[in-house]
Amino acid sequence: MSKIKAREGILSIPPYLPGRPVEEVKKEYGLAEVVSLANNENPRTSPKALEAMRAAVDHVYLYPDGSSRDLREALAVKHGLAPSQIMVANGGDQIIVLIAEAFVNEGEEVIVARPSFVTYKTAATIAGGKLISVPVKKDSLEIDLEATLAAVTERTKLIFLCNPNNPTATIVRRREVEDFLAKVPDHCLVVFDEAYFEYVGDPEYPDGIEYVKRDKNVIVIRTFSKIYGLAGQRIGYALAPEEIMDTLFRVLPPFPANRVAQAGALAALSDYDFVDKVIKENNSGRAYLCGEFEKLGLSFVESWTNYIFVDVKREALSLSADLLKLGFIIRPGGGWGYSTCCRISIGTMDQNEKFIAALKKVLNS
Ligand SMILES: *Cc1c(COP(=O)(O)O)cnc(C)c1O
């Protein structure tokens, strides 16, 4: 036994369990085709981004621009902010950890919903913060902002608000959010994780960037992983009022986003046709899958994203193991405390149809 001990609290972080890699499942089950519906990836990538990334590969002997200047300037124009209010990093995941590192002192409280994105807990623990989790509403599985507010104390430093929430795919709406922001005390920083922002079609869905513009104590997180189909490139960004951003920049490593990713992200930003197409196809995929779930007697939470939280009304872990053998990777809900639920990403229509055929097979066997 080694005498080297981990820092206090670190071993309480459960290892992150992503959906298994497609390559690994192909090998294990001898399958020619495997579809990942486990990580909410976009099954398509912006063609403009692909072209720009191919060109950027020729220059990978050079370090990237550590300040991502071109991309931050383009994002500043798109969002109507100054480049100094925007930070680009190695995915939204890295930004979540940086936020905790920059703001949370040992013992300060970090409020998250339960269930929500697991990285918040990891980030809070790394920083030595105390995690306070607030259950989502019992029937709708929506984040409970009143209960969140009630959990705020003098020790609260951060509140992570995942909107839409991962894994439940629910949103909180403008009126509720503004009421909440008005009551949150000045010593709390509210983080709006809007990884799925572009997918939400509800007119009452609030744009966190509005609160950055109003100089509230907020940070907004967005990513190129989902809507632009660049999950494998690891690139995302944060937006915040200048003073908050200045603090966050202090903990940013030297070259957070790689050269190829920056080129792809910049090109993707102006690929409006691609974004339109993704949203349309995702909407029809969602309608198709929900229709089929209904026919199968399965219930699900209304989704505002590219994934659906479904109650399969049996042990989801064994169901997902059966689906794996047929080449479909999904995420069972046991880890979130919902052992009969799954989170299923929406694929291309072809993938969705094949998935439903596989699901029927498994349910009937
Ligand atoms: C996917 C996701 C992110 C960020 O993903 P990156 O690939 O690290 O940019 C952040 N928050 C939530 C809730 C997500 O689902």
| Gap from CA of 159 to ligand 1 centroid (Å) | 17
Q: Which atom of ligand 1 is nearest to the CA of 231?
A: 7
- Asked whether 236 lines ligand 1 (CB < 6 A), one says yes
- Asked whether 206 lines ligand 1 (CB < 6 A), one says no
Question: Which ranges constitute the DSSP H helices of the chain?
Answer: 22-29, 47-56, 69-79, 91-103, 119-126, 145-150, 174-183, 209-213, 242-250, 259-269, 272-295, 316-325, 349-364
CA proximity to 70, closest of 224, 227, 262: 262
The residue nearest atom 4 of ligand 1, judged by CA position, is 92
| Gap from CA of 89 to ligand 1 centroid (Å) | 12
Q: HSE (CB half, 13 Å, CA atoms) of 85? A: 25
What are the tens digits of pLDDT across the range 96-107?
Answer: 999 999 999 999
- Asked whether 193 lines ligand 1 (CB < 6 A), one says yes
- Asked whether 225 lines ligand 1 (CB < 6 A), one says yes
- Asked whether 231 lines ligand 1 (CB < 6 A), one says yes
> Among residues of the chain, what percentage have pLDDT more than 90?
94
> Among residues of the chain, what percentage have pLDDT more than 70?
99
pLDDT of amino acid 305: 98
Q: What is the mean pLDDT of residues 332-348?
A: 97
Q: Which atom of ligand 1 is nearest to the CA of 117?
A: 13
Q: Which atom of ligand 1 is nearest to the CA of 116?
A: 13
d(CA 184, CA 143): 16
Higher pLDDT, 10 or 129: 129
| Gap from CA of 26 to ligand 1 centroid (Å) | 25
Of 14-28, 180-194, 212-226, 302-316, the range with the lowest mean pLDDT is: 14-28
Question: How does the average pLDDT of the chain come out, rounded?
Answer: 96
What are the tens digits of pLDDT across the range 209-240?
Answer: 999 999 999 999 999 999 999 999 999 999 99
What are the tens digits of pLDDT across the range 280-326?
Answer: 999 999 999 999 999 999 999 999 999 999 999 999 999 999 999 99
Q: Is 158 helix (H, G, I), strand (E, B) or coil?
A: strand
- Asked whether 194 lines ligand 1 (CB < 6 A), one says no
pLDDT category, 9, cuts 50, 70, 90? confident
The residue nearest atom 14 of ligand 1, judged by CA position, is 195
**pLDDT at residue 13 is higher than 90:** no
- Asked whether 113 lines ligand 1 (CB < 6 A), one says no
pLDDT of amino acid 8: 85
| Gap from CA of 174 to ligand 1 centroid (Å) | 22
Does this model's pTM top 0.85? My answer is yes
pLDDT of amino acid 1: 67
